[in-house]
């Protein structure tokens, strides 16, 4: 079997245990004689999966009882609209730290008064804005905690005088989170907790039902709370794989232990980027993401970009090409990315250095 060191930004690397369990469930789901993609979502067997998945979320992130955990379709991009539809009455504030934050702001502007409180667009989103003040007249303040394209991350849970909403698509479950500091957290599963096709939403019960607008049934969080995330047919296979992924994380030792490993993996690769004369990181050092390591060829070596890409592919590196909007390279070090793959990339960079150092 071909060896691939998977650094894709999403869909991303998943635990082999989760994949193998999913394969078995595709053939026979819990002894039902049916595949997991055939079984009724109203069956007791499927209900048990939903209950287990929800319980794992609450256990791993220590989610209080006054928060609901939802599993929805539509991707995080649809949540940009959900958030504004459910929470925006008078004014909303956004921290503009990248493409996805900008898109979230655009959707909110389509429904009402939404503004960027601070932005890092002036330096191509290479840092997290600081020194700004969150106005107290906002309905909510929206942040994107990790920026996959630019490799920046908000590393700590901030204090906010208004309801804090966070898109945590690409760093959820990678570090401990104080859920009580947030009114709502959402994200696509395909970065850290499962395959594409399902969105997680963690929402505090008392922030809902306060807008005067009509909310379409399918865009109302209360609809899905009341329906147990099964108002309509849920993305069953994606939820099943998510459940297996969270079981793997729990068996590993939970989020706290995973956070330490993620810090170690990121430090390994950033140390090599800083040491190797052929490469340079693109994000401000204090804001470097643990999940998405972005770098380019150093000045004087720009002409080697394509050669390094081909060289790395030949060594089994997959998905290290930077986003098309910024170029360069990006290695996504999500939870299931093994330390061995990070070391393999480092070895590849060092071997390439020996070929080209001046």
Q: Which CATH number goes with the domain that contains 122?
A: 3.40.640.10
324 pLDDT band, cuts 50/70/90, is confident
% of the chain with per-residue pLDDT over 70: 99
Together in a domain, 233 and 270: no
| Domain coverage including residue 109 | 16-252
Together in a domain, 263 and 223: no
Together in a domain, 347 and 267: yes
Q: Does pLDDT of 5 surpass 70?
A: yes
The CA-atom distances, in angstroms, between 19 and each of 66, 111, 338 are 33, 40, 15
6 inside domain: no
pLDDT tens digits, 242-264 = 999 999 999 999 999 999 999 99
- pTM above threshold 0.75: yes
Q: What torsion, rounded to 10 degrees, do the Cα atoms 345, 347, 352, 356 define?
A: 130
pLDDT tens digits, 261-317 = 999 999 999 999 999 999 999 999 999 999 999 999 999 999 999 999 999 999 999
* 121 phi and psi angles, rounded to 5 deg: -65, -25
134 inside domain: yes
131 token code pair: 């020194």
Of residues 46, 57, 100, 321, which has the active-site annotation?
100
7 inside domain: no
Together in a domain, 352 and 235: no
* Residues whose CB falls within 8 Å of the CB of residue 141, separated by 6 or more in sequence, listed in order: 92, 93, 94, 95, 117, 134, 160, 162, 163, 164, 165
Our answer to whether residue 57 is catalytic in this structure is: no
Together in a domain, 22 and 170: yes
11 inside domain: no
Q: Does pLDDT of 110 surpass 80?
A: yes
Cis check: omega of the bond before 174, within 30 degrees of 0: no
Dist CA 197 CA 40 (whole Å):
18
Our answer to whether residue 260 is catalytic in this structure is: no
Q: Which domain CATH number covers 281?
A: 3.90.1150.10
Of residues 167, 171, 220, 287, which has the active-site annotation?
167
Average pLDDT, the chain: 97
4 inside domain: no
1 pLDDT band, cuts 50/70/90, is low
2 inside domain: no
5 inside domain: no
Q: Where are the alpha helices (DSSP H) in 29-188?
A: 44-61, 75-87, 99-109
Last residue of a domain, one of 201, 234, 252: 252
Number of domains in the chain: 2
Together in a domain, 166 and 311: no
Of residues 46, 57, 139, 191, which has the active-site annotation?
191
* 276 phi and psi angles, rounded to 5 deg: -80, 125
Dist CA 356 CA 246 (whole Å):
43
Cβ atoms of 75 and 122 within 8 Å: the answer is no
């Amino acid at each position: 079997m071909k060896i691939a060191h998977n650094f894709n930004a999403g869909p991303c690397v998943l635990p082999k245990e989760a994949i193998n369990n999913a394969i078995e469930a595709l053939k026979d789901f819990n002894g039902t004689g049916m595949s997991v993609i055939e079984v009724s979502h109203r069956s007791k067997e499927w209900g048990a999966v939903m209950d287990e998945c929800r319980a794992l979320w609450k256990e791993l992130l220590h989610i209080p009882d006054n928060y609901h955990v939802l599993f929805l379709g539509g991707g995080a991009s649809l949540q940009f609209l959900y958030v504004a539809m459910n929470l925006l009455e008078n004014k909303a504030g956004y921290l503009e730290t990248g493409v996805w934050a900008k898109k979230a702001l655009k959707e909110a502007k389509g429904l009402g008064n939404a503004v960027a409180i601070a932005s890092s667009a002036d330096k191509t989103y290479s840092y997290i804005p600081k020194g700004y003040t969150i106005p107290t007249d906002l309905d909510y303040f929206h942040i994107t905690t990790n920026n996959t394209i630019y490799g920046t991350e908000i590393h700590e849970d901030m204090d906010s005088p208004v309801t804090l909403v966070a898109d945590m698509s690409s760093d959820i479950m990678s570090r401990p989170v104080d859920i009580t500091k947030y009114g709502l957290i959402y994200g696509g599963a395909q970065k850290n907790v499962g395959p594409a096709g399902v969105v997680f939403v963690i929402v505090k019960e008392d922030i809902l039902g306060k807008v005067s607008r009509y909310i379409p049934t399918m865009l109302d969080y209360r609809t899905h709370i009341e329906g147990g995330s099964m108002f309509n047919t849920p993305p069953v296979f994606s939820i099943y794989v998510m459940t297996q992924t969270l079981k793997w994380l729990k068996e590993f030792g939970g989020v706290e232990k995973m956070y330490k490993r993620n810090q170690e993996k990121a430090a390994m690769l950033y140390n090599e980027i800083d040491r190797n004369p052929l490469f340079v990181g693109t994000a401000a050092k204090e804001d470097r993401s643990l999940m998405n390591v972005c770098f380019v060829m150093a000045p004087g070596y720009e002409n080697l970009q394509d050669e390094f890409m081909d060289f790395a592919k030949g060594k089994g590196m997959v998905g290290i090409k930077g986003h098309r909007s910024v170029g360069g390279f990006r290695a996504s070090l999500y939870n299931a990315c093994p330390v061995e793959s990070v070391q393999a990339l480092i070895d590849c960079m060092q071997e390439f250095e020996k070929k080209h150092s001046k």
